[in-house]
A = this chain, B = another copy of it.
């Protein structure tokens, strides 16, 4: 399958100005160029790991799915079906850690969209899983199918999103048919690595089948590499519910990717300290990861964390805080301790796309970057601590992500860049606008923003004093108006729709709860 090349939208030059930029950065496969930062010592990390093992052994996990408890029991874990508790010995965890792969290729709908997943890789996803969405044209509303498709198209447009996330919950689609809708949208509107929900085995099997048929994959080819991923949230503290446990097993057996992410708020469902919260989160990841490896040794998994703090005055969740930043650093140390690729998250608690939203999201983002996260979820658009996704915030956050992607490319300092000749060409107090070095590079040297505006105060005022958030409205509208789509085979689309019609008539697949 080929795709229509899509490039980040460029500001057009004025009619009398220079031509549009010929800069062609590649944001599709990024390596993290930032140094990793430790918040704890190596001994402290080892102590946290040891305490997590002791937690699994002595305190145990509550595992609601009988099949999962059977799998754990077969591996030698002490299981109490009456209390649904699983006490997991460290030898079982250690064995699982030997089979969890350190690196793998995630296969997308077009080869240039494939992702290498390992420590050191860097991928971004927009905000995920919000019940609501908001934009300045239509206001805040419960997420709909239309919103889901629009947000997928915005995700497709920007190369800096290497993975698709389930941006908004399409609440107007019946729950027993929702997975058909979300899989179809992802297969036809984007060629990036797709996300599938874990809401029970029937939905997972439907989704795998749709993907295999659409991509023309044999069962063997499908199992060779992950072609889709799911996100598994534990119910902290120490609980694995039925759909999540089932998802871990289903995706592992299909050799598809599970990103295992306890969502823990320090002081609420996790200890109030960074060290305690990450120790709990680590124990839960180890337990869930062990289940995947028992179900299918070698199944692809990502270590994950999403740990921030609550405001102790009100109990409200907070994001982009110092504690959130330190939790990312600590989780990164744990992931490196294990050698596994891992995901972290940015995000904001703000209720609109304002300065707080920008500052929290970028602060959280830098925590992820310095923690060496392989996948950064909620990196754009996420407001209200995940209760809504903003179209405008998605655009203004992409500006930041694009700049990070530019930094991944580094810079050169060879003789041509140091350029003694250029220095010699300009007299004291002169200017470099017309040097040979400038003329050769003026059209390619600098990143050009999608929404940031460099006009001076007078011109900006004459043009209506429009702030970045309101300018972002025009950006997302133009992208949706253009309706760019990846090339798809009409016969495959027809077959996909036929499958959905058939399964719909058969009653669909209600979600597991």
24 A-B contact pairs sorted by A residue (CB < 8 Å): A33-B37, A62-B428, A235-B429, A237-B430, A239-B428, A272-B432, A273-B445, A275-B411, A275-B417, A276-B423, A279-B423, A309-B446, A311-B448, A320-B403, A351-B455, A351-B460, A353-B355, A355-B357, A355-B472, A358-B359, A359-B399, A360-B452, A387-B456, A388-B457
Interface size on A, residues (CB 8 A): 132
Q: Within 8 Å CB of A388, what residues of B?
A: 457
Question: Are B433 and A268 in contact, with the CB atoms below 8 A?
Answer: yes
Taking the complex as formed, is A313 at the interface, i.e. its CB lies under 8 A from any CB of chain B?
yes
A443 contact from B35, B311, B312, Cβ within 8 A: B312
Question: Are B403 and A321 in contact, with the CB atoms below 8 A?
Answer: yes
Q: Report the separation of the CA atoms of residues A280 and B271 in the bound assembly, to the nearest whole angstrom.
A: 52
Q: Within 8 Å CB of A384, what residues of B?
A: 456-457
Taking the complex as formed, is A412 at the interface, i.e. its CB lies under 8 A from any CB of chain B?
yes
Taking the complex as formed, is A99 at the interface, i.e. its CB lies under 8 A from any CB of chain B?
no
Question: Are A35 and B322 in contact, with the CB atoms below 8 A?
Answer: no
Q: Given A354-B355, A438-B271, is A322 in contact with B418 using a C-beta cutoff of 8 Å?
A: no
Give A129 Cβ to nearest chain B Cβ, in Å.
Answer: 16
Q: Within 8 Å CB of A510, what residues of B?
A: none
**Among A43-51, A117-125, A189-197, which stretch is in contact with chain B?**
A43-51
- The 7 lowest CB-CB distance pairs between A and B, nearest first, are A275-B413, A62-B428, A44-B413, A322-B406, A358-B358, A35-B35, A356-B468
**Among A9-17, A74-82, A151-159, A480-488, which stretch is in contact with chain B?**
A9-17
Question: Are A362 and B360 in contact, with the CB atoms below 8 A?
Answer: no
A467 contact from B272, B275, B355, B454, Cβ within 8 A: B355
Q: A273-B411, A330-B411, A387-B457 are in contact. List 18 more A-B contacts (CB 8 A).
A: A35-B37, A237-B432, A267-B432, A271-B438, A276-B417, A276-B419, A283-B423, A314-B455, A317-B454, A322-B407, A323-B445, A351-B455, A351-B465, A357-B468, A358-B358, A358-B359, A362-B363, A387-B456
Question: Are A419 and B275 in contact, with the CB atoms below 8 A?
Answer: yes
Interface residues of A (CB under 8 A from B): 11, 13-14, 17-18, 33-37, 39-41, 44-45, 47-48, 51, 54-55, 58-59, 61-62, 85, 140, 235, 237-239, 266-276, 279-280, 283, 309, 311-318, 320-323, 325-326, 330, 349-360, 362-363, 366, 370, 384, 387-388, 393, 396, 399-400, 403, 406-407, 410-415, 417-420, 422-424, 426-433, 435, 437-438, 441-443, 445-449, 451-457, 460-461, 465, 467-469, 472
